[in-house]
Amino acid sequence: MRMAIDHAAVAQASGEVPVGAVLVRRDEVIATGANRPIASHDPTAHAEIEVLRAGGRAMNSYRLTDTTLYVTLEPCAMCASAIVHARVRRLVFGAWDPRAGAAGSIVDVFSLPGLNHRVDVFGGVLMEECTGLLKQFFDEKRG
């Protein structure tokens, strides 16, 4: 998670919302990512999507089985769905997102009935640090 926090800081330095992600398989970092929707002019360029894309290239597969995804913010519905479709085994996130979180805050995509894959989800890891980055970013934006 600390590595994901470092990538969130990189996103923040680029003017992006500070969210970072790291994909790990068997204690090996497969891919990293950070928010890039503003710079890339791509609304889907969330840290989770960036790391899933990089992970797919690194593993030469669209199935990211036996991986753990660390992300500093609770995924939105788009990212949560992509995590399920990628067959990520475990999701570990830091800050809860009461406005858009899809791991329990406004909806729990991971517990929807009928899904063909289940992800183990753990939220609140290093929550104070992850929340602090977001709070600082938005406090500065709002003046």
Q: Which residues are catalytic?
A: 48
Q: Are strands 67-73 and 20-25 parallel, antiparallel or unpaired?
A: antiparallel
Distance CA 94, CA 89 (A): 17
* Closest alpha carbon to 17 in 143, 130, 108: 130
Q: From the centroid of its chain, how far is CA 22? A: 8
Distance CA 125, CA 114 (A): 28
Q: By the 8 A CB rule, do 108 and 39 touch?
A: no
Q: By the 8 A CB rule, do 35 and 45 touch?
A: yes
